[in-house]
Structure 1
Amino acid sequence: MAESVIIKNVTKTYRMYKTKGEQLKDLVLPGKSGSDFNAIEDISFAVEKGDVVGLVGINGSGKSTLSNIIGGIVPPTSGEVIVDGEVNVIAINAGLNSQLTGIENIEFKCLLMGYSKERIAKVMPEIIEFSELGDFIYQPVKKYSSGMKSKLGFAISVTADPDILIIDEALSVGDQTFADKSLAKMNEYKKRGKTIFFVSHNLSQVRSFCTKIAWIEGGHLREFGPTNIVMKNYSEFIKKYHKLSPEDQKAFRDKLANRRKQNNK
């Protein structure tokens, strides 16, 4: 089967500062203040067309950074992502302008996706109906709850019918009815052979929906493979992690974070 997404040695590094003063000093004397932090480091794997890949890992592991790089929202610091097809990212607030109304956001995002005014007029009723926002569709997005933003973003993106879909915690907010409807839409895409990346802490959803898993830990790819194998290992890790005291959990996270820091002072 043809490859849909190839990720080659991808690293994303951010410059970190403790104070505004450090940031200003680094502008004047580059490299003399602050430190580098590798959000993800040297990640490589390939995804075939029709794969549904779950991105799992504890908070702060780098899942969203990786999904944003695959989606073209964030550029990698080094490495390469080769994508065969149109990509859409569904995440809370992704691409939404808080000053615009729901209707205006639909028009704006559809224009960015290359839709003609005629096509926008055609898909508008479908997007509004799927979003379940009712009269709120005419209100500024800044008045929306996180669940409402997710509904609007999801409704726009699934109507676009992309080749590759990235869902970043977009089903974790809002009501269960909408989440079920959205999952049904995702399963429809799955049956049609779309490539999907699914970021979620809902392990039962990941286990039932995904065909492969990429386990990200401390910015590194710990394991990639079939769902039944990787999820078994990840579930065992999560059970052990949750049995740790809050202090030991923090110590574990701090240890991972320290590995990702590069003090360049």
Structure 2
Amino acid sequence: MDAKTKKGNYPGPQFETAVQVDHVSKLFLMERKKWYKFIFSAFKKKQNHYFQALEDISFEVKGGECIGLIGLNGSGKSTLANLIAGHLSPTSGEIKRNGAASLLAINSGLKPNLTGIENIKLKMLLMDFKPAEINQRIQNIVEFTELHDFIYQPLKQYSSGMRAKLGFAIAIQTNPEILIIDEALSVGDQTFYQKCLQEIDRFKREGKTIFFVSHAANQVREISDRVAWLHYGQLKLFGESQEVCLEYSRFIHHFNKKSHSERQKEQQEMMNTQKKTLSWKSNNQKKIKIWQPICIFSVLFVILAISTWEIWQSI
């Protein structure tokens, strides 16, 4: 489905293209093959069952913009966020990023048995920060979170709001060019939310790009310059935030007026259209070649021969 594009005047300085999503689709295999089926599947064609989480998504984002991602559950918002962050690869199409991306989701990359301080050090070490750089940033992170003595407690004792504070504080201190926020601001208090808005405004003034994923149309309208409305894997609408959020709110109003059974039926019908039965491999998957099973059988033959030799020697 082609997205209707509405243009508007969005605030903030405009820089060069930060993210370009070009005809991106994402398929997930709905069944896992056992190892012996995987070997023999190289010799024959077999149809596979896929779930199409995203279908032919295209848009371009400039530096200094905040883009909202809205839609019902299962529409592909988090999948698209993970693709933009580089945590997933598209099945087809291409995503071009101008700079490093950081995904902020509740519990994203945080270890529950480690304390807040230990999580800060671990996450920043994994992002190639030097110990001296980490020590310089720790105090800023602790002050931003306002967790006080809880920063020395295991993360499993934190509330969801406290985890969101820690995750957001770490993300902004790593200073990414592209910040992706997936529902992480929906669990914090109002004071924390306002602090986050100030940081988002700072990022935009510096020419950085923000993607904001949320179900709350009012929150998306307040934060975002433009909005992408995803509807069961398709880009239904992309344009100025006020107009797209208004259309989405109208849709939600009519959708909620339906009975529970009608809503379930409509959702099931849409999800059924996303299920695909295909006999081809995706663009980014490595195709199984004839030498792969030959190599596997050769290794098994060598192991069997060595085992037989050892048994013969022991007799």
In the alignment, is the contact (CA less than 8 A) between 1:165 and 1:195 conserved in 2?
yes
Structure 2 counterparts to residues 220-259 of structure 1, below 5 A: 220-259=234-273
Q: 1:170 is matched by which residue type in structure 2?
A: A
Tell me which stretches of 4 or more aligned residues in structure 1 moved more than 4 Å.
25-34
The number of equivalent residue pairs is 261
Q: What residue is the counterpart of 2:136 in the other structure?
A: 122
CA contact (8 A) 1:86 1:164 kept: yes
Letter in 2 for 1:169: E
2:200 paired with 1:186: yes
The amino acid across from 1:7 in the alignment is V
Residue aligning to 1:168:
182
Cα RMSD of the aligned pairs, angstroms, is 2.0
Query: How far does the alpha carbon of each residue in 1:103-128 deviate from its partner, in whole angstroms, 9 at most, with x for none?
Result: 11111111222222111111101101
Distance 1:8 1:264 in 2: 23
Deviation for aligned residue 1:228? 2.6
Matched, 1:72 2:79: no
Letter in 1 for 2:85: G
Give the Cα–Cα distance (whole angstroms) in 2 for the partners of residues 49 and 236 of structure 1: 30
Contact kept? 1:56, 1:216, Cα under 8 Å: yes
Q: Which runs of 5+ in 2 are unaligned?
A: 1-14, 280-315
- 2:274 corresponds in structure 1 to 260
In structure 2, C-alpha distance between the alignment counterparts of 1:26 and 1:60, rounded to whole Å: 30
| 1:100 CA displacement | 2.3
**Would you say the 8 A contact 1:23–1:34 is kept in 2?**
no
| Stretch moving more, 57-66 or 71-80 | 71-80
**Distance in 2 (alpha carbons) for counterparts of 1:27 and 1:100:** 39
How many angstroms apart in 2 are the aligned matches of 1:76 and 1:121? 37
Confirm or deny: 8 A CA contact 1:7 1:45 kept in the other structure.
Answer: yes
Letter aligned with residue 70 of structure 1: I
Aligned with residue 107 of structure 2, among 71, 93, 99: 93
| Cα separation, 2, equivalents of 1:264 and 1:139 | 49
CA contact (8 A) 1:55 1:63 kept: yes
Distance in 1 (alpha carbons) for counterparts of 2:86 and 2:260: 36
Q: Deviations over 1:152-180 (max 9, x none)?
A: 11110011222111111000113222222
Post-superposition CA distance 1:178-199 (Å, at most 9, x none): 2222222212222333211010
Question: Counterpart of 2:198 in structure 1: which amino acid?
Answer: A
Equivalent in the alignment of 1:62: 76
| 1:40 and 2:62 are equivalent in the alignment | no
Q: Percent identity?
A: 46
What is the TM-score with the length of structure 1 in the denominator? 0.91
C-alpha separation in 2, matches of 1:148 and 1:26: 46
CA distance in 2, matches of 1:61, 1:73: 18
Determine which of 16, 25, 28 is the counterpart of 1:2.
16
- Give CA-to-partner distance per residue, 1:182-225, whole Å, 9 cap, x none: 22221222233321101012211211221111110011111111
Deviates more, 1:153-162 or 1:95-104: 95-104
Is the 2:217–2:248 Cα contact (8 Å) retained in structure 1? no
